[in-house]
């Protein structure tokens, strides 16, 4: 069995840090409300002119350094984003050019906050089939560009950032002891389009639009769908809950993270939490959290990581990766 093994990761956060208290100046909110309802304390926002591709390129360069590779060593690049630089070309091809990847191919994946899990699944399948041997998987977002600054129920929750993970093909024996991506579970249900969306687009308003969310409704779906996807990812890899060393969840809301961990039966010591410092960075949140935890030396070779995410669509999924 050809496995997709992690050989390097990286992340990038824009320099500007915005504390909760800053929102008190323009919407009726408080640091206390934001902290207690979401766990968020601060987030980073991109500077004027700073693009999603800029964030992605910085994260990708850190991942290449971490792996001891160059752009030309990468066969394929899959970039998850809901906030691309332009309608086309794909943000992925901009990153491809900047990294001087040369031959091979690059494309964007759009599954909003679940985007990284979808991109990871693509990458793992391409490596498994022999279509590519080294794949750069990136999640990068500038959600600050689509926030409605007059809507206190959404503008306080999101942030900008990017994370990258390089996967490389390696032969495994097909057991759950192999290193690499062991399983991925992808789901979506378009009946819930209206719970979380952007009210603009190329073929509708011709504008980028702004984010609209029925937070309470999304919350209701999140815990049960994330826990079910996580359990399915473990089962399909032949793993038990106790085999999990780390959960790297989508960082949307600390209450969702805690409730999902509780439902799966995992203690908080095993959960990587960065939402307090990053807010919800959509497709970037898992690779960002992964890279931050890795820089802190938290993962050991052979550790079993469980990732899970949910976002607009609704779209959700989970993956297991042996580090
Ligand atoms: N400051 C102060 N008060 C606020 C704010 C704010 N920023 N936002 C909302 N309120 C008010 C509401 O108006 C409401 O007032 P009311 O009772 O008078 O109507 C009250 O606070 C409670 O609002 P709820 O929406 O019930 O608060 P809740 O406890 O559900 O928390 C939250 C809201 C944080 C949005 C939560 O529902 C949530 O996290 N939902 C999931 C959202 C999510 O995770 N989305 C991301 C997944 S998909 C993706 O990542 C794109």
CATH architecture entry for 2-171? 3-Layer(aba) Sandwich (3.40)
DSSP secondary structure code for residue 252 in this structure:
S
**Cα-Cα end-to-end distance for the chain:** 17
Percentages of the chain per state (helix, strand, coil), in multiples of 5: 40, 30, 30
Residue written as token pair 């607009």? 312
Question: How many C-beta atoms lie closer than 10 Å to residue 49's C-beta?
Answer: 6
Share of the chain above pLDDT 70, in %: 100
Per-residue model confidence (pLDDT) at position 55: 98
Interval 227-247: pLDDT, tens: 999 999 999 999 999 999 999
Ligand 1 atom at shortest distance from the alpha carbon of 252: 44
Q: Is 250 a catalytic residue?
A: yes
- Reported confidence tier of residue 202, pLDDT bands at 50, 70, 90: very high
Contact 69, 8 (CB under 8 A): yes
Residues with CB under 6 A from ligand 1: 29, 33-34, 37-38, 112-113, 152-153, 156, 196, 215-216, 218-219, 222, 252-253, 256, 280, 282, 310-312
Contact 138, 77 (CB under 8 A): yes
- Reported confidence tier of residue 103, pLDDT bands at 50, 70, 90: confident
Mean of per-residue pLDDT scores for the chain: 98
Query: Which secondary-structure segment (H or E) carries 19?
Result: strand 16-19
- Reported confidence tier of residue 165, pLDDT bands at 50, 70, 90: very high
**Radius of gyration over every alpha carbon of the chain, rounded to an integer in angstroms:** 18
Q: What is the mean pLDDT of residues 4-18?
A: 98
Per-residue model confidence (pLDDT) at position 102: 86
Q: What distance in angstroms lies between residue 215's CA and the mean position of ligand 1's atoms?
A: 5
The burial of 187, by beta-carbon neighbours within 10 Å (0-12 exposed, 13-18 middle, 19 or more buried), is given as middle
Cα separation of 58 and 162, whole Å?
Answer: 8
Indicate the pTM of the whole model: 0.97
Interval 128-152: pLDDT, tens: 999 999 999 999 999 999 999 999 9
Q: What is the mean pLDDT of residues 25-30?
A: 97
- Reported confidence tier of residue 74, pLDDT bands at 50, 70, 90: very high
Cα separation of 288 and 40, whole Å?
Answer: 15
Interval 281-317: pLDDT, tens: 999 999 999 999 999 999 999 999 999 999 999 999 9
Cα separation of 164 and 81, whole Å?
Answer: 12
Superfamily of the domain at 180-322: Thiolase/Chalcone synthase (3.40.47.10)
pLDDT at 89 over 90: yes
Q: Is 9 a catalytic residue?
A: no
Q: Where are the domains of the chain?
A: 2-171, 180-322
DSSP secondary structure code for residue 96 in this structure:
H
Q: Do domains 2-171 and 180-322 have the same CATH topology?
A: yes
The burial of 25, by beta-carbon neighbours within 10 Å (0-12 exposed, 13-18 middle, 19 or more buried), is given as exposed
The backbone torsions φ and ψ at residue 11, rounded to the nearest 5 degrees and listed phi first, read: -150, 165
215-236 helix and 254-264 helix, angle to the nearest 10 degrees? 40
Cα separation of 101 and 81, whole Å?
Answer: 20
Share of the chain above pLDDT 90, in %: 99
């Amino acid at each position: 069995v050809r496995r997709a093994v992690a050989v390097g990761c990286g992340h990038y956060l824009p320099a500007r840090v915005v504390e909760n208290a800053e929102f008190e100046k323009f919407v009726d909110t408080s640091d206390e409300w934001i902290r207690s309802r979401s766990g968020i304390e601060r987030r980073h926002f991109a500077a004027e002119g700073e693009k999603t591709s800029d964030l992605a390129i910085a994260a990708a360069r850190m991942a290449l350094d971490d792996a001891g590779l160059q752009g030309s060593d990468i066969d394929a690049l899959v970039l998850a984003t809901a906030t691309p630089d332009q309608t086309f070309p794909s943000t992925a091809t901009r990153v491809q050019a900047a990294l001087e990847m040369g031959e091979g191919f690059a494309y964007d994946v759009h599954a909003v906050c679940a985007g990284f899990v979808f991109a990871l699944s693509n990458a793992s399948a391409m490596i498994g089939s022999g279509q590519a041997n080294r794949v750069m998987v990136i999640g990068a977002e500038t959600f600050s560009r689509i926030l409605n600054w007059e809507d206190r129920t959404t503008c306080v929750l999101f942030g900008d950032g990017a994370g990258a993970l390089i996967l490389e093909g390696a032969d495994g024996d097909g057991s759950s002891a192999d290193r690499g991506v062991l399983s991925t579970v992808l789901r979506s249900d378009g009946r819930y389009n209206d719970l979380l969306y952007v009210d603009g687009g190329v073929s509708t308003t011709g504008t980028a639009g702004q984010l609209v969310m029925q937070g309470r409704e999304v919350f209701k779906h999140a815990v049960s769908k994330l826990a079910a996807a996580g359990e399915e990812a473990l089962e399909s890899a032949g793993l038990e809950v106790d085999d999990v060393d780390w959960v790297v969840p989508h960082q949307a809301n600390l209450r969702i993270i805690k409730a999902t961990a509780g439902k799966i039966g995992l203690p908080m010591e095993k959960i990587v939490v960065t939402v307090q410092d990053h807010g919800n960075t959509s497709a970037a949140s898992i690779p960002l959290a992964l890279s931050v935890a890795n820089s802190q030396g938290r993962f050991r070779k052979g550790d079993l990581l469980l990732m899970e995410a949910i976002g607009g669509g609704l779209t959700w999924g989970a993956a297991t990766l042996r580090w």
